[in-house]
């Protein structure tokens, strides 16, 4: 008599807990852009150069001014009406190039390497990538710029303390001018990010940045005086200078007006970058 062994049913496998669905949030995109920015060696080098330009050129200008005062040499036009504030902001024009160029690299660098495809695959809605890049680098440029101008001013105040250019933080308009300079440099960084995302070319973005901040004002100066009075104050560089100038006249904008004009230029660049990002493939 044959016996049939009962079949053994396999024990059900232990159910694995379901993995939580990955959600793309604004905070996560910000953290990703923060990590990517600091992973590049160019970020550390260029930010260091921007800070060096602000402090070093401010110190050089202050030492030059004091040397000419003590020796009785002829004062150049740049030093005739100099103050500790204007001397400490002497390196702003150089620092804006460093921070603006780095802003272009932050955005356009991903297009040159092809990494932007991975970024947009992880963030399909696209626009949060642009806003995060602009916010992260703008904040970093703001901190670096503000720290640099305050350090330069404190150092220069000690150098020219015994001259007619002496000023302190308690003098009217000084803190406002220093904060305005830091804000201007932060917005230049955001503009660089916008140009890099708009043109998707490092060379192209840097060329447009340099032209708008340095070349166009020179070309406008060749126009008739009546034209210059209506155009020059609204150029990006001149509007930015109004943000941190201590004194103003009828040919320049007020600090608030300069800020509004420069914000409009920055917003226009960001809007162009946003439209292209949404409508065209990487």
pTM, two decimals, is: 0.88
pLDDT band at 182 (very low <50, low <70, confident <90, very high): very high
**44 three-class SS:** helix
Considering the domain boundaries, does residue 180 fall inside one?
Answer: yes
The whole-number pLDDT of residue 113 equals: 85
CA quadruple 132, 136, 137, 141: dihedral positive or negative? positive
Considering the domain boundaries, does residue 40 fall inside one?
Answer: yes
H-type alpha helices, the chain: 26-38, 41-71, 77-80, 84-88, 92-113, 115-122, 127-159, 174-199, 202-210, 216-220, 225-231, 236-244, 255-279
Half-sphere exposure of 158 (CA within 13 A, CB side): 6
Considering the domain boundaries, does residue 7 fall inside one?
Answer: no
Considering the domain boundaries, does residue 2 fall inside one?
Answer: no
| Cα dist from 31 to 87, 106, 128, 129, whole Å | 37, 15, 12, 11
Burial of 143-181, coded b for 16+ CB within 10 Å and e otherwise, reads ebbbebbbbbbebbbebbeebebebeeeeeebeebbbbb
Considering the domain boundaries, does residue 17 fall inside one?
Answer: no
The whole-number pLDDT of residue 1 equals: 43
Considering the domain boundaries, does residue 1 fall inside one?
Answer: no
| Cα dist from 4 to 7, 8, 118, 228, whole Å | 9, 12, 60, 105
Instruction: Give yes or no for a contact between 24 and 128, defined as CB atoms under 8 angstroms apart.
Output: yes
Question: pLDDT tens digits for 98-152?
Answer: 999 999 999 998 888 888 888 888 888 889 999 999 999 999 999 999 999 999 9
Lowest mean pLDDT among 40-44, 103-107, 195-199: 40-44
Considering the domain boundaries, does residue 164 fall inside one?
Answer: yes
Number of domains in the chain: 1
| Mean pLDDT calculated for residue range 66-77 | 75
Considering the domain boundaries, does residue 154 fall inside one?
Answer: yes
- In terms of residue numbers, what domain contains 173? 27-279
Higher pLDDT, 122 or 153: 153
What gap in Å lies between CA 245 and CA 240, rounded to an integer?
9
């Amino acid at each position: 008599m044959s016996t049939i062994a009962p079949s053994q049913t396999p024990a059900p496998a232990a159910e694995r807990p379901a993995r939580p669905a990955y959600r793309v949030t604004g905070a996560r995109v910000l953290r990703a852009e923060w990590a990517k920015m600091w992973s590049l060696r160019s970020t550390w080098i260029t930010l260091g150069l921007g800070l060096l330009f602000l402090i070093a050129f401010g110190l050089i200008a202050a030492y030059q001014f004091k040397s000419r005062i003590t020796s009785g040499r002829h004062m150049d036009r740049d030093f005739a009406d100099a103050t500790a504030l204007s001397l400490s902001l002497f390196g702003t024009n150089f620092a804006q190039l460093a921070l603006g160029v780095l802003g272009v690299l932050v955005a356009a660098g991903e297009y040159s390497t092809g990494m932007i495809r991975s970024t947009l695959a992880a963030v399909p809605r696209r626009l949060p990538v642009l806003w995060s890049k602009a916010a992260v680098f703008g904040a970093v440029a703001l901190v670096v710029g503000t720290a640099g101008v305050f350090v330069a001013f404190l150092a220069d105040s000690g150098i020219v303390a015994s001259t007619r250019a002496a000023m302190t933080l308690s003098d009217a308009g000084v803190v406002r001018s220093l904060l305005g300079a830091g804000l201007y440099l932060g917005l230049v960084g955001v503009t660089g990010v916008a140009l890099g995302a708009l043109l998707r070319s490092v060379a192209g973005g840097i060329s447009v940045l340099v032209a708008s901040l340095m070349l166009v004002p020179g070309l406008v100066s060749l126009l008739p005086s009546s034209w210059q009075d209506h155009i020059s104050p609204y150029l990006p560089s001149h509007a930015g200078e109004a943000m941190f100038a201590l004194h103003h006249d009828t040919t320049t904008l007020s600090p608030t007006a300069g800020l509004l004009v420069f914000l409009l230029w920055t917003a226009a660049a960001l809007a162009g970058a946003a439209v292209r990002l949404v409508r065209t493939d990487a």
